[in-house]
Amino acid sequence: MSNCFLELINVHKSYRTKSEEIKVLKGIDFCLQRGEIVSIIGESGSGKSTLLHIMGAMDIPDEGKVLIDGSDIATLSLKDRASLRSNKIGFVFQFHYLLPEFTVMENLKIPQMIAGKSGDINYRCDEILNLIGLVDKRDRKPDELSGGQQQLLALGRAMVNKPDLLLMDEPTGNLDEKTSQKVMGKIFEILGKFEISAIVVTHDIKLAMNTEKIYKLFNGKIHLEN
The pLDDT-based confidence of 119 (bands split at 50, 70, 90) is low
**Dist CA 92 CA 157 (whole Å):** 9
* Helix H or strand E encompassing 214: strand 213-218
Average pLDDT across the chain, whole number: 88
Query: What is the domain-level CATH number for residue 138?
Result: 3.40.50.300
Task: Judge whether 130 and 199 are in contact, CB under 8 Å.
Answer: no
Residue-wise pLDDT tens digits, 160-200 = 888 899 999 888 777 788 888 888 888 888 888 778 899 99
Report the half-sphere exposure of 98 (CA within 13 A, side-chain side).
29
The answer to pTM > 0.75 is: yes
Give the domain range for residue 127: 4-224
- pLDDT of res. 2: 66
What are the CA-CA distances from residue 33 to residues 69, 86, 190 (Å)?
A: 10, 20, 17
Q: What is the pLDDT of residues 4-23, one digit of tens each?
A: 999 999 999 998 888 888 89
- Bridge-partner residues for 198, per DSSP? 37, 166
The total domain count for the chain is 1
Q: How far is CA 144 from CA 100, 102, 138, 141, in A?
A: 10, 11, 11, 5
Q: What is the pLDDT of residues 23-49, one digit of tens each?
A: 999 999 999 998 899 999 988 888 888
As a whole number of angstroms, the distance between CA 150 and CA 143 comes to 8
Q: What is the Cα–Cα distance from 169 to 193, expressed in whole angstroms?
A: 21
Write the single-letter amino acid at 9: I
